[in-house]
């Protein structure tokens, strides 16, 4: 018996350190390996579910439903590695267990792992979120987008209510109207403007101008010390012909510039005609809601400025929602509003959103093949086709602007935290 125990002890002395080293080596690489295997998976799931949530809200708006969003405020992924090493007696073939003798031992190594992620979901329904959702995009935001690589027609069609009071389907910036919107002239102007941009003969720029702050002051009201103090703070007092002083400061004003060589082109003439601009002018100041909405016919022709009325994010989402192919049975039953043209016939909203945004629909048991993003609603699949570059581009712009405009603190509602079991 002592001989067998001695042999077993020597075997254990050789095997046990190997087991420990094996376990330790696996533990050293577990963290990096777990991150490598899961980080991109989490990234892809967050991206795809965020896109699906946006598309679902667009579909909801077309049906007159209330949109709702949950923000993923935190993801805590906890990785756990367990291991155990032991020696198990291997009894002799004689089966004589009463003497407690054994001739060998078997090493056993147990290794386990678990991923226990915790997701924190925050309802986006607080006052700040709602305010941003309803706030029109500022003028500098429109100019910034138009100066990037986004096509000017995409930016203007998506985020303008009108340009020089030429309507961009303004009635589509809310629940679906029953009557056909005004849109044809705006689309003609946008096509011509886009053609000019494609040829590189129109650019957005800025010019420095003096802007008055307040009303003119009598000469006796301004002293030398006031002039010095204003200069220290970047302001300047300017005197007029009556000797009055006006406090001014330098500001950058956006302008739309056209190449003079394109002034007589067919596209430029179309832009001038549609938006009532002054022929031959190549520099137009860009303003926001400065024109009078109701004027006599022809009273505001020959404009030297491009006046914009912008949309909010919610209005833009309502607008693109009309690019959804609503099933005929939903229109017939009244689940979704049917718009009629001037002749009382069903209006085709693709005439407004063509080349900008389209969501297809199909009744199927599984996700449509070739879908870039797809959601189920009222028993139908609604999806953007993978091959529809224009719709994908517009959807991407909406995603980015949604992050820019609406990212902020969570709402006062409950913070939903979901701890998931290990796997």
H or E segment and range at residue 22: helix 2-62
Read out DSSP for 87-106? EEEEE-TT--TTTT-EEEEE
Q: What is the DSSP letter of 299?
A: T
Which neighbouring-strand residues pair with 107? 87
- Binned at pLDDT 50, 70 and 90, residue 408 comes out as very low
pLDDT value for 79? 61
pLDDT at 413 over 50: no
**What per-residue confidence (pLDDT) applies to 250?**
79
The predicted pLDDT at position 69 comes to: 84
Residue 175: Cβ-neighbour burial (10 angstroms; 0-12, 13-18, 19+):
middle
Show me where the domains of the chain are located: 2-125, 140-311
Q: How confident is the model at residue 232 (pLDDT cuts 50, 70, 90)?
A: confident
Report phi then psi at 303, rounded to 5.
-70, 145
Q: What is the pLDDT of residues 148-205, one digit of tens each?
A: 778 999 999 999 999 999 999 999 999 999 999 999 999 999 999 999 999 999 999 8
H or E element in which residue 12 lies: helix 2-62
pLDDT at 333 over 60: yes
Closest CA to 276 of 291, 288, 264: 291
Q: Which residue has the higher pLDDT, 375 or 137?
A: 375
pLDDT mean across residues, the chain: 82
pLDDT digits (tens, 9 = 90+) for 345-381: 999 999 999 999 999 999 999 999 999 999 999 999 9
For helices 152-159 and 313-321, the axis angle rounded to 10 degrees is 100
DSSP secondary structure, 112-158, as one string: EEEEEEEEEEEE--SHHHHHHHHSBPPHHHHHHHHHTTS-HHHHHHH
Distance between CA atoms of residues 44 and 67, nearest Å: 23
Spatial contact of 161 and 186, defined as CB atoms under 8 Å apart: no
Residues whose CB is less than 8 angstroms from the CB of residue 320 and which lie 6 or more positions away in sequence, other chains included: 58, 158, 353, 356, 357, 394, 398
Q: Count other C-beta atoms under 10 Å from residue 242's C-beta.
A: 8
Predicted structure pTM score: 0.76
**Cα(375)–Cα(389) distance, rounded to whole angstroms?**
19
Locate all alpha helices (DSSP H) within 137-223, ordered by sequence: 139-147, 152-159, 184-198
């Amino acid at each position: 018996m002592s001989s067998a125990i001695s042999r077993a002890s020597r075997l254990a002395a050789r095997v046990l350190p190997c087991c420990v080293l094996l376990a330790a080596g696996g533990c050293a690489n577990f963290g990096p390996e777990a991150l490598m295997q899961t980080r991109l998976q989490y990234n892809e799931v967050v991206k795809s579910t965020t896109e699906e949530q946006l598309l679902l809200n667009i579909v909801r708006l077309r049906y007159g439903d209330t949109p709702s969003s949950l923000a993923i405020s935190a993801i805590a992924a906890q990785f756990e590695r367990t291991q155990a090493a032991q020696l198990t007696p291997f009894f002799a073939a004689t089966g004589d267990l009463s003497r407690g003798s054994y001739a060998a031992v078997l090493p056993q190594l147990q290794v386990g792992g678990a991923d226990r992620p915790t997701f924190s979901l925050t309802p986006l329904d607080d006052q700040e979120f709602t305010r941003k959702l309803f706030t029109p995009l500022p003028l500098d935001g429109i100019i910034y987008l138009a100066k990037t690589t986004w096509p000017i027609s995409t930016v203007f069609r998506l985020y303008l209510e009108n340009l020089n009071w030429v309507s961009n389907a303004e009635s589509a910036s809310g629940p679906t109207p029953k009557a056909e919107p005004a849109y044809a002239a705006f689309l003609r102007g946008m096509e011509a403007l886009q053609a000019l941009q494609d040829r590189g003969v129109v650019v957005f720029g800025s010019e420095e101008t003096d802007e008055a702050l307040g009303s003119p002051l009598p000469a006796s009201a301004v002293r030398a010390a006031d002039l010095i103090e204003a200069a220290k703070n970047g302001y300047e007092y300017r005197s007029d012909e009556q000797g009055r002083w006006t406090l001014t400061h330098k500001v950058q004003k956006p302008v739309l510039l056209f190449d003079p060589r394109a002034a007589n082109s067919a596209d430029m003439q179309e832009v001038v005609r549609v938006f009532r601009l002054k022929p031959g002018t190549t520099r137009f100041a860009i303003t926001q809601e400065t024109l009078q909405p109701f004027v006599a016919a022809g009273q505001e022709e020959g404009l030297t400025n491009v006046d914009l009325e912008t949309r909010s994010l919610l209005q833009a989402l309502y607008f693109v929602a009309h690019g959804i192919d609503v099933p005929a049975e939903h229109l017939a039953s009244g689940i979704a509003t049917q718009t009629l043209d001037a002749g009382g016939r069903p209006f085709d909203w693709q005439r407004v959103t063509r080349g900008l945004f389209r969501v297809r629909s199909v009744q199927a048991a599984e996700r449509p093949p070739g879908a870039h993003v797809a959601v189920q609603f009222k028993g139908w699949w609604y999806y953007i086709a993978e091959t529809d570059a224009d719709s994908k581009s517009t959807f991407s712009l909406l995603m980015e602007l949604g992050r820019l405009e609406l990212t902020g603190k969570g709402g006062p509602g409950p913070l939903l935290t979901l701890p998931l079991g290990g796997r």
